[in-house]
Amino acid sequence: MLHGIFQLPASKSEANRALIIRALSGHDFPIHNLSDANDTQLLNRLLSSKAGAEVSAEDAGTVMRFLTAYYAATGQQLTLTGTPRMCQRPIGVLVDALRKLGAKIEYLGEEGYPPLQMKGFEASGTYQLTVRSDISSQYISALLMIGPLLPQGLELTLKGKISSEPYIRMTLAQMAHFGVQATFEGQKITVPHQQYQAQEFTVESDWSAASYWYSMVALAQEADIFLPALRSNSLQGDSVLPSLMEPFGVQTEFTETGVRLTKSAVQEPIARIDFFACPDLAQTVAALAAGLGVEVEMTGLESLRIKETDRIAALQFELVKLGAELREIAPDVFKVFLPNKPETEPTIHTYEDHRMAMAFAPLALKYPVIIDEPKVVRKSYPRYWDELQKAGFSFVKS
């Protein structure tokens, strides 16, 4: 029986927006429940970097993208780099946009990728920009947050499909919380010149992290667990989990203080799931489908190739060990097939990706699993293994 109250980390997405906005506001106000995730602790430290420093955003996409815009808008001169993987994650769309606004930024390595030399800012008078929105929403969020500080505000026309759109809406909702009004109509976002107001902010628990508990409930024989500080009126797009996980046999009940998860019947066949708006849930669902022995079709996975690792390739390598296969059956339509039996004690490689570790660990409810480099979870959920231990998982530590 999986039973108990389990602590989630606070959302690193909400926390990192609140930190950037506080720094841009010129005020000091409390941010409650700031995430203990490395991505957040790191951003908090780097917001007070000294001129001329070499600053590393490590493996944190939001830190890299949000700080590029923040350092540009505040005219800071320093070098911004990251892990070798971060230097393979594209940033050209954001740099091009910032340059048009007046930022002086040079590439120190390959054109379009970190590391970046930030060389100051001189407003160009341009405030209307067209930016691609089909690669990463983080470029758009980064630009939006500096928008109210620009002399004429900012008018963004989004070009192409809008990837990870709920994260853009989260940015606008948090800007509104701090007194900045913007409009988002069709493909156009307008942010007039304004001042951020001081305001307390409480970060909600992280729905992406909750997905691993949904997976555990689905895989357990019996389950009744409680996850505190999740809300139904969340700013996070990953709060689609209650409906997304219902077919996998997880029942969600909202209370005043969080959610209770219990088991219900698995509904087969499970409809095709689109992850374009919630890419961080894809690994959870792929591993869960393999563990439950249900085939599922997955779409909207384009952005997975440029995250902490190439997540499609990582899933394809590791699912085989569970007897499953992730195959592209049509352009951008993937399907989890179940042709074989799982290995007796699969060792899951994590490719420096926290979500590979967290998504595959719940399989231990079915058979022994070894997770390689388990410390990767520090990026978003440092206490993950402690909470699993509380839930009754036993670990062999090497």
Ligand X SMILES: O=C(O)C1=C[C@@H](OP(=O)(O)O)[C@@H](O)[C@H](O)C1
Q: Which residues contact 84 (CB under 8 A, 6 or more apart)?
A: none
Nearest residue (CB) to ligand PEP, 223 versus 273: 273
Segment lying near ligand X (by CB under 6 A), choices 101-109, 159-167, 239-247, 321-329: 159-167
Under the binding rule (CB under 6 A), the answer on residue 279 touching ligand X is: yes
Task: Tell me which of 61, 115, 148, 300 binds ligand PEP, using CB under 6 A.
Answer: 61
Binding mask 216-255 for ligand PEP (x = CB under 6 A): ----------------------------------------
* Contact yes or no for 346/370 (Cβ under 8 A): yes
Binding mask 297-316 for ligand X (x = CB under 6 A): ------x-------------
By beta carbon distance, the residue nearest ligand PEP is: 61
280 is catalytic: yes
The nearest distance, CB 395 to ligand X, in angstroms, is 26
- Concatenating the DSSP letter of every residue in 86-116 gives GGGS--HHHHHHHHHHTEEEEESSSTTSS-E
Segment lying near ligand X (by CB under 6 A), choices 163-171, 254-262, 328-336, 342-350: 163-171
Task: Tell me what percent of the chain is helix, strand and coil, each rounded to the nearest 5.
Answer: 40, 20, 40
Q: Please count the residues of this chain forming the interface with ligand PEP, following the rule CB under 6 A.
A: 8
Radius of gyration of the chain (CA): 21
Alpha helices in the chain (DSSP H): 12-25, 38-46, 61-73, 92-101, 137-146, 165-177, 207-219, 241-245, 282-292, 311-319, 354-360, 384-390
- The count of C-alpha atoms lying within 13 angstroms of the C-alpha of 135, restricted to the half-sphere facing its C-beta, is 15
Q: Collapse the DSSP code of 298 into the 3-class scheme (helix H, G, I; strand E, B; otherwise coil) and give the result.
A: strand
Pull the structure tokens for residue 195. Answer: 């001042």
Neighbours of 277 (CB within 10 A): 18
Q: Contacts with ligand PEP in 313-372 (CB under 6 A)?
A: 355
Nearest residue (CB) to ligand PEP, 71 versus 275: 275
Residue 164, binding choice from ligand PEP, ligand X, none, Cβ under 5 to 8 Å by partner class: ligand X
Under the binding rule (CB under 6 A), the answer on residue 131 touching ligand PEP is: no
The nearest distance, CB 136 to ligand PEP, in angstroms, is 7
The closest of 88, 175, 94 to 133, measured between CA atoms, is: 94
- Concatenating the DSSP letter of every residue in 318-374 gives HHGGGT-EEEEEETTEEEEE--SPPPSSPEEP-TT-HHHHHHHGGGGGTS--EESSG
The closest of 61, 192, 67, 190 to 136, measured between CA atoms, is: 61
Residue 137, binding choice from ligand PEP, ligand X, none, Cβ under 5 to 8 Å by partner class: ligand X
Task: Tell me which of 163, 211, 283, 284 binds ligand X, using CB under 6 A.
Answer: 163
Point out the catalytic residue in the list 39, 59, 280, 353.
280
Nearest residue (CB) to ligand PEP, 209 versus 227: 209
Residue ranges that bind ligand X, judged by CB under 6 A: 13, 61-62, 136-138, 141, 163-164, 167, 279-280, 303
> What are the residues binding ligand PEP (CB under 6 A)?
60-62, 280, 307-308, 355, 380
